[in-house]
Structure 1
Amino acid sequence: MKCNNGKSNWSFRSKLGLPVFIFILCLFCFLAGFFGSSLLSQDVDDDRPGPRLLQSVSDHSEFDLITSGETGDDSISSIPFQLLSWRPRALHFPKFATAEQCQSIVNMARPALKPSALALRKGETDESTKGTRTSSGVFISASEDESGTLEAIEEKIARATMLPRSHGEAFNVLRYEIGQKYNSHYDSFNPAEYGPQRSQRVASFLLYLTDVEEGGETMFPFQNGLNMDGTYMYQRCIGLKVKPRQGDGLLFYSVFPNGTIDPTSLHGSCPVIKGQKWVATKWIRDQIEDD
C-alpha cells in the first residue's frame, strides 16, 4: 500500500509539472502567513487604549521643539479636525470628547432643564417669537462641575480655537425632542438690532452629546453665499448640514477677523425627526466674561 501511494503521488506531481507544484506550495505558505498576521494585528488593536481628551504626540524626534513661555507647553498636542467651510469658517472635530464625558454632561443638565429663551431684538416680544426656538436648556459653568469634565472640555476648546477660557460663556446644554428645532439665526448681536453691546460673540463651539437617529442637523443656509437673495424662509432646513454624532465638535466663527459680523454664519437646528438631540454650546466673546 505504501509503495502504491508513493507511485501515485509521484505520478500526480509529474503530470502537474514540478514548477507548478512549487508555485502552489509557495502560494499556500503566503496565504497562511497573511491570515496569521491579520489575526495577530487584530489582537494588538483590541489592546489599544481608547481616545484621550487631549493627545500629546509621544514621538518628538521629528520636531525641533523650542522653549515655550511660562503659560505654554513643552510638548506637541494633537486635536484632529476637518475644514467644512470657509464661508462661514466652520470646522468639524471628530471624537472631541468621550462617550463617558458626554453622558456625564447630560446627567448634570437633565434635572435643571427649562424652556430655552431668546435674546430679543428691538420691537420683538416673547409672543411674536414663539416657536422660533423650542428646545429645553440650562447654563452650567465649569466651576459648578465637581467632576472636572466641563473644565477639561473647556480647556480643549480653548486650545482648538486659540481663544482663552476666560472669554467663554457658561456651557448652554440643550435638549431637542421630536419636532423641536431652532430657526436660522446669528449668534452674534448686531448693535443696530439689539442695541449697544458690552462684548461680542465671535465664535461658537457645539459639542454633540448624543447621536440623533434622524434630523437635528446643524445647518448653514447661506454657506458660500447661497440663498442670500432675500427670499429665504428662516424655518427652512437647507444648505450645509452637520449631522450630530456623540462626542463630535463643531466650531464656527460669527465675525470676520476685523470684527464685523459674517453674514454667512447664519445657522439653525433642523427639527428632530427620530430620537433626541443633546448638545453643549460654548459661546466665546471678544472680551473677558465675568464669572
Structure 2
Amino acid sequence: MKSKGKAGSLGGSSSCLWRSFGSKVGLPAVFLLCSFFFLTGLFGSLLLSQDVVSGVRPTPRRLESMDEGAEFDPLPHGETGERSLTSIPFQILSWKPRAVYFPNFATVEQCQSIIKMAKAHLAPSTLALREGETAENTKGIRTSSGMFISASEDKTGILELIEEKIARATMIPRSHGEAFNILRYEIGQRYNSHYDAFNPAEYGPQKSQRIASFLLYLSSVEEGGETMFPFENGLNLDANYDYRKCVGLKVKPRRGDGLLFYSLFPNGTIDSASIHGSCPVILGEKWVATKWIRDEQDD
C-alpha cells in the first residue's frame, strides 16, 4: 500500500509540473516540442533496429550514388594491352568447383549464326578412351552430335569475336584454346558425368592439360539439358554415386549465356569437384559451343 501511495504522489507531482510548464510556455510550443522529441526518438529507434538486423551500420546515402554516372579513364597500357575498358557481367556460381556464369555473353544473332554453320557438319560425338575402353563398351555415355570448327575457319568472324571475349573473361590468351566443339543434344540425349582434364594415371602422359572449359549456350532448353556438377561443395562423394544421375549444382541453358569452370587447381592438380555432365533433354533442343582451354599454347 505504501508503494502505491508513493507512485500516486509522484504522478501528481509530474502533473503539476506539466501544468505549470504549459502555462508559462504555451500549449502550441509544448505541442511542437513534444512532436520534435517523438520524431527524433522514432528515427533513432529505426536506425538502431536496422543495425541489429543487419549487424552493420547503414551505408550513408552519399556513398550509394557515388559511382552513378562515374567515368573511368583507362591507364597507359603495354604493347600487348588494350586502350579501352571492358565490362563483362558475371556471377560466381560455386567456389568448389570454381564455376562462373556470364549472362548475355553472346547475341541472339551470333548464336543463330553458329548453329547455322554447324548443322550441315554434325556427326556422333566421340569420347577420349581410357585403357581397356572401346566405342562399344562406352556406348550411351555421350549421345550428342557435334563438330569442331576453329575461329580461322569461320568466314563470318563471329567465332573470332567470341574467342576474344572468352580470352578477356578468363585472362588466358586465345592461343591456349582448342577449336570450338559445337554440340547438339536432342530429346533424351545426355553426357554422363566426366572430367575435361585427363588424369595421366588413366590416359597416359599429357603434353598439356585442359585447365578450364567455357560453355556458350546457343539455345534455351524448355526442360532438362542442364549442365550439372554432382560433387559441388563435397556433395555425393561416395563410392555408390551413379554417374548417370542428374544431381548437384545445375545450370539451365539460356541462349547467349556463358559458363566457365576450372578443371585444375592453381597448383595444376585436378579438381575432383569439377566433374560434370549434361542432363538429358526432356523438351526442346540444346545447342552449345564448348571451348576447352589448356595450360600451354594449343597446336
Please give the TM-score of this superposition, normalised by the length of structure 1: 0.78
What's the offset of the Cα at 1:60? Answer: 9.5
Residue matched to 1:279: 288
Identify the match of residue 260 of structure 2 among 230, 245, 251: 251
Q: Does 1:264 align with 2:273?
A: yes
Q: Does 1:159 align with 2:168?
A: yes
Residue matched to 1:91: 100
What's the offset of the Cα at 1:63? Answer: 3.0
Q: Does 1:79 align with 2:79?
A: no
Identify the match of residue 190 of structure 2 among 165, 175, 181: 181
What's the offset of the Cα at 1:66? Answer: 2.2
Residue matched to 1:108: 117
Report the Cα distance in structure 1 between the residues aligned to 2:69 and 2:220, rounded to whole angstroms: 36
Report the Cα distance in structure 2 between the residues aligned to 1:105 and 1:176, rounded to whole angstroms: 15
Residue matched to 1:21: none
Residue matched to 1:134: 143
Identify the match of residue 78 of structure 2 among 61, 69, 79: 69
The secondary structure found in structure 2 opposite 1:78 is coil
Residue matched to 2:216: 207
What's the offset of the Cα at 1:230? Answer: 1.6
Kindly provide the CA deviation profile for residues 71-125 of structure 1, in whole angstroms up to 9, marking residues without a partner as x: 1112211000000000000000000000000000000000000000000011111
- What letter matches 1:245 in structure 2? R
The secondary structure found in structure 2 opposite 1:202 is strand
- What letter matches 1:238 in structure 2? V
Q: Unaligned regions of 5+ residues in structure 1, if any?
A: 1-58
How many aligned positions are there? 232
Report the Cα distance in structure 2 between the residues aligned to 1:245 and 1:81, rounded to whole angstroms: 14
- What letter matches 2:83 in structure 1? D
- What letter matches 1:130 in structure 2? K
Residue matched to 1:123: 132
Identify the match of residue 217 of structure 1 among 217, 220, 226: 226
Report the Cα distance in structure 2 between the residues aligned to 1:240 and 1:256, rounded to whole angstroms: 19
Q: Does 1:149 align with 2:158?
A: yes
Q: Does 1:230 align with 2:239?
A: yes
**Percent identity, aligned pairs only?**
75
Kindly provide the CA deviation profile for residues 269-289 of structure 1, in whole angstroms up to 9, marking residues without a partner as x: 000000000000000001111
- What letter matches 2:270 in structure 1? I
RMSD, aligned CA? 1.2
Report the Cα distance in structure 1 between the residues aligned to 2:255 and 2:104, rounded to whole angstroms: 8
Report the Cα distance in structure 2 between the residues aligned to 1:60 and 1:253, rounded to whole angstroms: 35
What's the offset of the Cα at 1:61? Answer: 5.8
Report the Cα distance in structure 1 between the residues aligned to 2:92 and 2:239, rounded to whole angstroms: 28
The structure having more radius of gyration, on CA atoms, is 2
Report the Cα distance in structure 2 between the residues aligned to 1:222 and 1:108, rounded to whole angstroms: 35
The secondary structure found in structure 2 opposite 1:77 is coil
What's the offset of the Cα at 1:65? Answer: 3.5
What's the offset of the Cα at 1:128? Answer: 1.0
